[in-house]
């Protein structure tokens, strides 16, 4: 059985193949703004698969993906009612982003709980999984890239910068000053949110980071124990095994 796993997020839509045992090497992505019948059809024409698991936080693009992929082969779009190896301790489960549940499943399958998973994407999300295990909720904040883009778009003179480790805190150019503010400041945001979450969680907590900016930010945040770039797809793989 070959599964096509899809992570349809706000900026990129990522595709990956897996068999029943593990994730496979093949992976591709399309900018989410460019998802269409034509672009998805062209991509899948190059691969063979037996079933599809979709995780989406972009409803209008999910409809296109469903239209292209849901005919002729088993198809499951994950949601709070999907079979998963944890319960949900949250008043309105239908409001939980599918990607946040996928990350929680990945944590339960590969790490000890209680746990916090931080996903550095268009938004940065902090999600708490209890020891039981159960999804308990978390925090949503603006993503690092989104903050950088906002400064560029809303000011006349500030450029769009490439994110990297700043050489110093005292920037000696506009770019250096912005880089220090973005990276050093963002680490402060992450530390403060983690400290507040840890005050409300009993026991030894495992903290995992994933997403595009995870390695950069986690490098100087000692509370983060693991950086796992494949966590979301590991969760989708586990969900595919249980729902397809």
Residues recognised as catalytic: 99
- Contact criterion met (CB below 8 Å) for 116 and 195: no
Residues 6+ apart with CB under 8 A from 146: 122, 123
Burial of 152 (0-12, 13-18, 19+ CB in 10 A): middle
Burial of 118 (0-12, 13-18, 19+ CB in 10 A): buried
Burial of 4 (0-12, 13-18, 19+ CB in 10 A): buried
Hey, is 161 helix, strand or coil? coil
- As beta bridge partners, residue 123 has 142
Spatial CA neighbour of 1 closest among 70, 73, 78: 73
Exposure string of 29-44, with b = 16+ CB inside 10 Å and e = fewer, is ebebeebeeeebeebb
Hey, is 58 helix, strand or coil? coil
- Contact criterion met (CB below 8 Å) for 17 and 27: yes
Spatial CA neighbour of 232 closest among 3, 4, 44, 6: 6
């Amino acid at each position: 059985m070959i599964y096509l796993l899809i992570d349809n997020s706000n900026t990129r839509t990522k595709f990956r193949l897996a068999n029943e045992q593990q994730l496979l090497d093949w992976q591709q992505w399309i900018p989410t703004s460019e998802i269409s019948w034509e672009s998805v059809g062209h991509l899948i024409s190059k691969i063979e698969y037996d079933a599809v698991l979709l995780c989406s936080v972009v409803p209008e693009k999910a409809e296109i993906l469903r239209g292209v992929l849901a005919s002729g082969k088993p198809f499951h779009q994950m949601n709070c009612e999907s079979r998963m190896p944890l319960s949900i301790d949250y008043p309105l489960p239908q409001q939980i982003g599918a990607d946040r549940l996928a990350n929680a499943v990945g944590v339960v399958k590969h790490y000890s709980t209680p746990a916090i998973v931080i996903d550095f994407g268009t938004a940065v999300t902090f999600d708490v999984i209890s020891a039981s295990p159960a999804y308990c909720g978390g925090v949503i904040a603006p993503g690092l890239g989104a903050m950088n883009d906002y400064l560029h778009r809303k000011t006349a003179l500030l450029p769009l910068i490439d994110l990297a480790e700043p050489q110093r805190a005292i920037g000696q150019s506009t770019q250096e000053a912005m880089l220090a503010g973005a990276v050093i400041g963002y680490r402060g945001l992450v530390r403060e949110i983690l400290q507040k979450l840890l005050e409300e969680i009993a026991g030894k907590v495992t903290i995992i980071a994933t997403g595009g900016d995870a390695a950069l930010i986690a490098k100087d945040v000692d509370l983060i124990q693991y950086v796992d770039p494949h966590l979301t797809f590991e969760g989708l793989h586990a969900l595919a095994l249980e729902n397809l």
